[in-house]
A and B are shown apart, each in its own frame.
Chain A
Amino acid sequence: MKNRIVSEFLRKYWTNYLWGTVFLLLCVSMEALSPRYLGIIIDLLKAPVVDTHQVMRYVGRILLAALGVFATRFIWRYFIMGNARNMECFLRMKLFRHLQQMSVDFYNNRKTGDLMAYAINDIGAVRQSFGPGVSLILNGLGMGLISVFSMAKSVNTRLTLFALLPIPFVVFIIVRLGGTIQKRFRTVQKNFATISDRIQENISGIRVIKTYVQEEDEVGRFDVLNDRMKQSNINMVRVSSILTPLIQIFFGISFTINLIYGSSLVRAHEISLGDFVAFNGYLAMIMRPVISIGRIINIFQRGMASYKRLGEIFEVEPGIRDEIPPSGSMERLEGNLSIRDLSFRYPGQEEYALKDININLKKGRILGVIGRTGSGKTTLVNLLLRLYNVEPGKILLDGKDINEYSLEELRENIGYVPQDNFLFSDSIYENVRYFNDRYSDDEIKSAVQSSMIYQDIMEFPDQFETQIGERGANLSGGQKQRISIARAIIRHPPIYILDDALSAVDTRTEGAILKNLKREMEGHTGIVIAHRISALRKADEIIVLDHGRIVEQGTHDELIDQEGLYRELYQEQYGQEQRENMENEAS
């Protein structure tokens, strides 16, 4: 899978690398010309009679070469580095698309922060490999080969060999020290991550810290990490700071060899003064790419590691997918639901989350579901929405197996109000219509009225355009829940699912919303899941779940009369007095 992604990219854009390499080689060879020209000029100037015409020609050539280098360098950078940017955006889009297909199960096992690291760090590291990494290698190879070749060919082979003698040592040192530097660099990064985690935790828990007056202790604990971070940085620099000086010393030997041996060759008339000067120029040219070897290794190691991690993510197949190719037709369901002998275990779990569930819900009826935490209520919803795979023949909608609907079609027909109230950082308006422009403003207004949030919205200064901050920070839990409800109502779906959707609103508002919902749900099928019995008032039928099984079933009155779990829950939640109140209301 991962190989496919890069090869897919390369197949599409390989010509960029081809042209990039061509221009890079052109660029390097032109760069290698100028030490040669300078050498020739020096020789011309040294002659007893200076041929000014010749000198000017070479001066012109130096300028031409410089212009050529400028143009070709711009072009190769555009091709190679630009392609790396292209790659970055390509990968990011791919990752985004891929993540959108991943099932809830996938997200349960991974933290948002970790997934973000893929999008930011890993894609960045891959880009570094494909851009600067590739160009440094090509540039270094080209530059080194052409310089050595020019030195040996046009100056003197023996001198070249002597002068290049220290280079293998340089490479050895870079590789050796490079390893140590990287190890220490990783320690620095680890310490930085620890510090970041600590700060993040501290800020998230700042209220507790303030309540218990822990500020100074927190600073004390932070100091320890902070000092560790400092020390690791100093340790790293202790090694990295000697790398470049060491390289310089070894190259210094090369320069000195040229100075002593090279000048003796000049005096012996084996090479000209110009050759001697050009040789010095070439040495300087080789030095730069050699120094960057350490950086290249680093870039590629990081790139490879990131590439592997990305590959692992891309290899995860979407857990839930359409069994049949989506037909594109979007049928509106009637809303008859039947569940037959449904049992379900979460992947990797031994215990059944649901066992032998049988439900028959006719169009227009409202089913209440109640049970303690962990009794399987939310699992039931997860399966109805096909957030997890269901065996064929277990859940039928309008008599057809839910696996035979496309995901889009299935979910389009369900109006879901979740337990947690996640809102996008956008306007209230967008959060109600959910980025879907087929709803008119009137529809939006009527939806928010039904969910009892209209008044609140009108009281905000920007009304519908009010921006919802970081995870909806400026709204209360109840307000967020009511927006979530409006979001479901606006679609007028054949099936409503309310998953404990009224937990954060007070009982009074709850009553009003339920009343409106009852009206909205007229003729629609509804599944209302709740902890509080008060939220089930409008249900036609109620099932009681316990440890994944339906233990009781019936209307409120029937269930109250049974000496079972429902009655127990009821009594826990309402005292004797409350019960009287409720019966008063009913009568």
Chain B
Amino acid sequence: MKHPEQKQHSLLRLLKMSRPYWKVILGCVVCVIAVNGAELYKPLVMQKVIDDFLVADKPQHGFSSIPAMGALYMLLIAGSSVLSAVQINSMTWVGQKIITDLRRTVFSHIQRMPLSLLDKYSSGRLITRATNDVEELSEMFTDVLIDLFKDVFLLIGIVVIMVRLDWQLSLIGFAVLPFIFLITNFMKRKMKANFVVIKRLTGRINGFFAENISGMKLVQIFNMQREKEGEFQELNDEYYRASLTRLMLHSILRPAIEIFNSLAIALLVWYGMGRIMNHTLDIGVLYAFTNYIKQFFDPINDLAEKYNIIQSAVVSADRIFEILNEEDSLEDYDSGMHLERLQGEIEFRHVWFAYEKEDWVLKDVSFRIQKGQTAAFVGATGAGKTTIINLISRFYQVQKGEIRIDGVNINDINLKDLRRNISVVLQDVFLFSGSIRDNITLSNDISDETVAEALELSCADAFIDELPHKMDEMVMERGSTFSAGQRQLLAFARTIAHNPAIFVLDEATANIDTKTEKLIQKSIENISRDRTTLIIAHRLSTIRNADMIFLMRKGRIVESGNHESLMELGGYYAQLNAV
């Protein structure tokens, strides 16, 4: 699934997204041309009134009369107004379609990103990609796309009419154009540099602010208020200076263009004057020219403004495509052997693994856990225990060696089937907003009886029965109203309800009171009874009954066996127990 346009400029890639809607867009273009036509015809009506009836005093009859001209004028305005409303609505529809599709693409793309990639992008960045960055593009499709047509057609139309009215006058009017382009070009470059600075500063200010709020307690306890304030003041001042520069650049560009507008009119009058005197030019034509010149600058101004939008749209698009380009590393849910139900025999064969390059976290790890056994992994922080969890669920790929479940290399098993069979409970239990029931079923089709049974087996029923709405109690603020222990019990219930073949637990180190701790132990017992269980242990007391205990040190398994045999061995494990 490789896209040939991967390396393409983001802008082009954005435009390609509008291809399916070309019919609507074409309709809009027709509307825009009609609107432009009306816009351009208006000064001609004025010119006719001035030259025929006000200067020359021609007789009025039928269509060739002031009231008829007035009616025509009104008709042009009304018609173009209606058409532009139609066009805006259609283009919004197109733009929203594209944006909605894109947002969906980004979202489902993130769903399929492997953890190694998700680690690379911080969660904050991913959220911004799927929300603000996508939103930033919507203006690009609804306004910019069609306005570009509109402005360009208007420019062409004005040029054609002006030249047809009087080509000499036109040349005079256009004489100022090169200067405008020079100035615009020069200013744009300055603005772009400034834009980058401001964006960077805003990011830093917001980051600093948010972090200071999160760490406020420490800031206060360690009396850092003054240092932090000083740092912030510096950032804030820097931002102020940059925003003033921005203001000045913007205050120069547009008014400068307007000066050239007046200059053009001055030139027209100066040149037209002589020709009016020798009657080779009508006053109405001169007046129409001043109008056209004014109209001529509007689309130029407009294009300059649209340039800003395009600019920030391209920045956002670059960032979105950066993520979408990570196609090859996406998780593959479709291929692989389909295994409905695993037995749960796990084997590591000479597994080497590093999160980064050659920085080995696991070194030649081999072990085998029989179906239904409980195995515990013990070792100092950083010994590689947690990594084992990541590998079994194939959140990361091993570099050397292989992992087999039921004798099959896990790389050959369909990813969905593999993960459905493994349930991992992490130290920090994540609860979704929604009811407790939703958090256990994860909106899957699981009957109430199963949920109730799961709650009972996980020993979570006691505290849930005390809640006013029981299972339908809503989880507030990611479950912060529950204690860490209670959250863990809920995660166990979630596991039991999904009935996996393999249960993996990263034991919580957080403050769990001893009463809940007992419930947790009971719950683990229930879960591990008829399934293969892996426990990453942080305390020795909890794993005494494990069938197998693996002692890890600096990425290697240094001792293995059950409690008794390890104590007898008198090695590292016995030493740990003695502390």
CA distance A387 to B222 in the complex (A): 12
Name the B residues within 8 Å of A424 (CB-CB).
211, 215
B228-251 at interface with A (beta carbon < 8 Å): 228-229, 231-233, 236-237, 239-240, 243-244, 247-248, 251
A43-88 at interface with B (beta carbon < 8 Å): 45-46, 50, 52, 55-56, 59-60, 62-63, 65-67, 69-70, 73-74, 77-78, 81-82, 85-86, 88
Nearest CB in chain B to that of A264: its residue? B66
B364-422 at interface with A (beta carbon < 8 Å): 379-382, 393, 395, 416, 419-420, 422
Q: Is the CB of B544 within 8 A of A511?
A: no
Which of A150-158, A200-208, A297-305 faces chain B?
A200-208
* Total A-B Cβ pairs within 8 A: 384
B241-276 at interface with A (beta carbon < 8 Å): 243-244, 247-248, 251-252, 255-256, 258-259, 261-263, 265-266, 269-270, 272-273, 276
Q: Is the CB of B104 within 8 A of A201?
A: no
Which of B84-92, B188-196, B449-457 faces chain A?
B84-92
The interface residues of chain A, by DSSP majority, are classed as helix
Q: Is the CB of B511 within 8 A of A260?
A: no
Instruction: Determine which of A45, A67, A78, A217 lies in contact with B443 in the assembled complex, contact meaning CB atoms within 8 Å.
Output: A217
CA distance A573 to B78 in the complex (A): 84
Interface string of B511-522 (1 = CB under 8 A from A): 111111110000
On chain B, which size bracket covers the interface? Answer: 35 or more
- Would you give the shortest CB distance from B568 to chain A, in whole angstroms? 13
Name the A residues within 8 Å of B160 (CB-CB).
none
Interface string of B550-566 (1 = CB under 8 A from A): 00000000000000000
Q: Is the CB of A252 within 8 A of B123?
A: no
Interface string of A569-582 (1 = CB under 8 A from B): 10011110010010
CA distance A477 to B506 in the complex (A): 13
Q: Is the CB of B107 within 8 A of A212?
A: no
On chain A, which size bracket covers the interface? Answer: 35 or more
Q: Is the CB of A273 within 8 A of B239?
A: no
- Would you give the shortest CB distance from A330 to chain B, in whole angstroms? 10
Nearest CB in chain A to that of B238: its residue? A89
- Would you give the shortest CB distance from B246 to chain A, in whole angstroms? 9
Which of B18-26, B145-153, B283-291, B311-319 faces chain A?
B283-291
- Whether A5 sits at the interface, judged by CB under 8 Å, is no
CA distance A478 to B424 in the complex (A): 21
Interface string of B108-131 (1 = CB under 8 A from A): 101110010010001110110011
Nearest CB in chain A to that of B254: its residue? A73
- Whether B168 sits at the interface, judged by CB under 8 Å, is no
CA distance A534 to B514 in the complex (A): 14
Q: Is the CB of B123 within 8 A of A230?
A: no
Q: Is the CB of A67 within 8 A of B259?
A: yes
Name the B residues within 8 Å of A60 (CB-CB).
266
Assuming A46-B55, A425-B211, A478-B381, is B251 touching A213 (CB within 8 A)?
A: no
Name the A residues within 8 Å of B130 (CB-CB).
199
Name the A residues within 8 Å of B88 (CB-CB).
237, 241
Assuming A196-B131, A233-B96, A245-B81, is B213 touching A115 (CB within 8 A)?
A: yes
Assuming A96-B209, A210-B395, is B577 touching A581 (CB within 8 A)?
A: yes
Q: Is the CB of B509 within 8 A of A503?
A: yes
Q: Is the CB of B111 within 8 A of A218?
A: yes
- Whether B1 sits at the interface, judged by CB under 8 Å, is no
- Whether A509 sits at the interface, judged by CB under 8 Å, is yes
- Would you give the shortest CB distance from A19 to chain B, in whole angstroms? 15
Nearest CB in chain B to that of A504: its residue? B509
Interface string of A209-227 (1 = CB under 8 A from B): 1111111111101110011
Nearest CB in chain A to that of B83: its residue? A245
- Whether B483 sits at the interface, judged by CB under 8 Å, is yes
Interface string of B38-53 (1 = CB under 8 A from A): 0000000110011001
Instruction: Determine which of B85, B213, B223, B379 lies in contact with A116 in the assembled complex, contact meaning CB atoms within 8 Å.
Output: B213
Name the A residues within 8 Å of B518 (CB-CB).
572
The interface residues of chain B, by DSSP majority, are classed as helix
Q: Is the CB of A199 within 8 A of B225?
A: no
Assuming A42-B283, A569-B514, is B223 touching A408 (CB within 8 A)?
A: yes
Interface string of B430-450 (1 = CB under 8 A from A): 101100000000111000000
- Would you give the shortest CB distance from B458 to chain A, in whole angstroms? 16
Q: Is the CB of B511 within 8 A of A419?
A: yes
CA distance A92 to B238 in the complex (A): 13
Q: Is the CB of A503 within 8 A of B287?
A: no
Q: Is the CB of B218 within 8 A of A422?
A: yes
- Would you give the shortest CB distance from B329 to chain A, in whole angstroms? 14
Assuming A97-B229, A259-B70, is B419 touching A414 (CB within 8 A)?
A: no
Which of A100-108, A336-344, A348-356 faces chain B?
A100-108
Name the B residues within 8 Å of A46 (CB-CB).
55, 283
- Whether A587 sits at the interface, judged by CB under 8 Å, is no
- Whether B57 sits at the interface, judged by CB under 8 Å, is yes
Assuming A112-B210, A260-B70, is B92 touching A234 (CB within 8 A)?
A: yes
Name the B residues within 8 Å of A374 (CB-CB).
513
Q: Is the CB of A585 within 8 A of B578?
A: yes
Name the A residues within 8 Å of B244 (CB-CB).
82, 85
Q: Is the CB of B381 within 8 A of A418?
A: no
Name the A residues within 8 Å of B225 (CB-CB).
100
Nearest CB in chain A to that of B110: its residue? A203
Q: Is the CB of B513 within 8 A of A372?
A: yes
Q: Is the CB of B49 within 8 A of A263?
A: yes
Besides A99-B212, A511-B579, 7 other A-B contacts (C-beta < 8 A):
A50-B277, A66-B258, A215-B111, A222-B104, A256-B70, A476-B381, A507-B579
B residues with a Cβ closer than 8 A to A are 45-46, 49-50, 53-55, 57, 66-67, 69-71, 73-74, 77-78, 80-82, 84-85, 88-89, 92-93, 96-97, 99-100, 103-104, 107-108, 110-112, 115, 118, 122-124, 126-127, 130-131, 135, 138, 142, 205-207, 209-225, 227-229, 231-233, 236-237, 239-240, 243-244, 247-248, 251-252, 255-256, 258-259, 261-263, 265-266, 269-270, 272-273, 276-277, 283, 286-287, 290, 333, 379-382, 393, 395, 416, 419-420, 422-424, 426-427, 430, 432-433, 442-444, 477-478, 483, 485, 494, 498, 509-518, 538-541, 544, 576-579
Can you list the 6 inter-chain pairs with the closest CB atoms, starting with the nearest? Answer: A252-B77, A245-B81, A66-B262, A478-B381, A241-B88, A373-B513
Question: 30 interchain pairs (CB within 8 A)?
Answer: A50-B273, A52-B277, A70-B255, A100-B216, A196-B131, A204-B123, A207-B426, A208-B442, A211-B423, A211-B424, A212-B494, A217-B443, A218-B111, A222-B107, A226-B103, A226-B104, A230-B99, A230-B100, A241-B88, A245-B84, A264-B66, A277-B50, A373-B483, A373-B513, A422-B214, A422-B218, A434-B224, A477-B427, A479-B382, A572-B518
